[in-house]
Amino acid sequence: MDKFEAFPTGKKRKEIVEQTVKKAVHFKDSAEIEIIDFERYTWIDSPLEGSGMVGQGLDFGSSFKDVLPKREISLKNYIETILQKRKGRAIGVEFGGVGLRLFNGFTPGFFAKSIAVTLADHRRWKLRLSELKERDRKIHHKVLEGNIFDLKTYESLNQYLDNKKVDLIIERMGQGLEFVPTEPYTVSKILQIWYDLLREGGVMFVQTPVVFNNLLEAWVIKIKNEFKGVIEIEYQKGKKDNDAYIPCSAFRLHKLPRAPNELPFLDSRTVTKIPKAN
Ligand SMILES: C[S@@+](CC[C@H](N)C(=O)[O-])C[C@H]1O[C@@H](n2cnc3c(N)ncnc32)[C@H](O)[C@@H]1O
């Protein structure tokens, strides 16, 4: 039997969060070397569905296929169907990516605006930043450089959004999950911010680190049992954070009318009894 390893508490918890923040800051400061010289990531600007060019990365549709409702096989079709009433006015956000190929995969004009939040705009070493910005502007896309664990990032995001809520949130960071602290409380604070940002009727697709698999399962069961009809949620368990061939660990959350204002979480006592997954 595997040894029970709990998530950190107290001083250890703080240390883990600080170390992860430091690692992310280091990556941001040396992004050019990390990305170009060390080829840190093989998925940089992945397509929504279908295979892109070699080196573009696994499509989002393949990663999230097991959280779609039964009989739905297309991520694009699912999103455009549930957001049908928002067509032409919808707003989408990708956390942890540059989002261009992702949002280009939707029906042209479906999203009025899209924003992608990333530690660094990986495209800027291949094309001039001014050219990129001009190209993004034409299709109402914006890349915001910032850390998803830094509250200042959300100030800039809300400013760009004119404090409007969004219809789609998607995060599939793969190897980028290395900058997510293995600390449930910090992660739940960010999920709360995303849930709050999501409009009623909106949907989020979120990849979670494999180490949280047991927590993910317990949390989804709680929501299914206690919030039926107001939050629709589905999850899938992966084996590796950056596996290009099988679905990752992830959940889909559809915020329905009369959904609670706060995203419900497991209480801290329950969390201490749930082991890390290995
Ligand atoms: C492997 S790439 C995936 C990019 C894109 N989502 C895709 O699937 O093609 C990892 C991404 O996560 C981003 N990332 C990692 N940690 C982050 C953080 N703390 N805040 C914002 N972005 C982060 C990196 O900047 C990078 O864009």
The larger pLDDT score, comparing residue 255 to residue 57, is at: 255
Q: Is 107 exposed, middle or buried (0-12, 13-18, 19+ CB in 10 A)?
A: exposed
Q: Which one-letter DSSP state was computed for residue 275?
A: B
What is the pLDDT confidence band of residue 211, given thresholds at 50, 70 and 90?
very high
Measuring CA to CA, which residue among 50, 167, 172, 191 is closest to residue 114? 167
Phi, psi for 105 (deg, rounded to 5): -80, -15
Residue 65 CA to ligand 1 center (angstroms) comes to 20
pLDDT for 134 = 87
Q: How many angstroms separate the alpha carbon of residue 160 from the centre of ligand 1?
A: 20
pLDDT (mean) for 153-170: 97
pLDDT band for 58, please (50, 70, 90 cuts): confident
pTM of the model: 0.95
What tens digit of pLDDT does each residue of 87-127 get? 999 999 999 999 999 999 999 999 999 999 999 887 777 67
Q: Residue 53 CB: number of other CB atoms within 10 A?
A: 8
Report the pLDDT value the prediction gives residue 54, as an integer from 0 to 100.
56
Output the CA 269–ligand 1 centroid distance in Å: 31
Q: What's the CA-to-centroid distance between 264 and ligand 1, angstroms?
A: 26
Higher pLDDT, 122 or 222: 222
Instruction: Tell me how far the alpha carbon of residue 1 lies from the centroid of ligand 1, in angstroms.
Output: 35
pLDDT (0 to 100) of residue 132: 85
- First-to-last CA distance in the chain? 12
pLDDT for res 2? 61
pLDDT at 8 over 60: yes
How far is residue 99's CA from residue 97's CA, in Å, rounded to a whole number?
6
- List, in order, residues 6 or more apart from 222 with CB less than 8 Å away: 264, 266
What are the pocket residues of ligand 1 if the criterion is a CB atom closer than 6 Å to any ligand atom? 24, 41, 43-46, 57, 96-97, 117-120, 147-149, 172-176, 179
Query: From atom 19 of ligand 1, which residue's Cα is the shortest distance away?
Result: 147
Distance CA 124, CA 34 (A): 13
Task: Enter the tokens of residue 154.
Answer: 């959300």
Q: Work out the burial of residue 185: count CB atoms within 10 Å of its CB; fewer than 13 is exposed, 13-18 middle, 19 or more buried.
A: middle
Nearest to 101 by CA among 138, 32, 53: 53
Return the pLDDT at 56. 61
10-41: pLDDT as tens digits: 899 999 999 998 999 888 888 777 666 666 77
Give the ligand 1 atom nearest the CA of 174: 1
Say if residue 226's pLDDT is above 90.
yes
How confident is residue 53, by pLDDT bands cut at 50, 70 and 90? low
Closest by Cα among 164, 150, 184 to 92? 164
Average pLDDT estimate for 258-271:
96
pLDDT of 208 > 90? The answer is: yes
Which residue of 118, 169, 179 sits with most ligand 1 atoms within 8 Å of its CB, as the best mutation to test the pocket? Answer: 118
List domains and CATH numbers for the chain: 10-272 (3.40.50.150)
* Paired tokens of 78: 């699912």
Q: Whose CA is nearest to atom 15 of ligand 1?
A: 176
40 Cβ partners below 8 Å, 6+ apart?
Answer: 27, 34, 175
Contacts of 187-190 with CB under 8 Å at 24 or more apart are: 187/212, 188/263, 188/265, 190/148, 190/149
CB under 8 Å to 224, separation ≥6 — which residues? 233
Across the range 201-212, mean pLDDT stands at 97
The answer to whether 249 touches 216, Cβ cutoff 8 Å, is: yes
* In contact, 137 and 60? CB cutoff 8 Å: no
pLDDT over 70, % of the chain = 94
Q: What is the average per-residue pLDDT within 59-80?
A: 95
**Interval between CA 270 and ligand 1 midpoint (Å):** 30
> In the prediction, which pLDDT does 38 show?
63
Q: Distance from CA of residue 32 to its chain's centroid?
A: 23
Percent of the chain with pLDDT over 90: 75
Average pLDDT, the chain: 92
Q: What is the pLDDT of residue 225?
A: 98
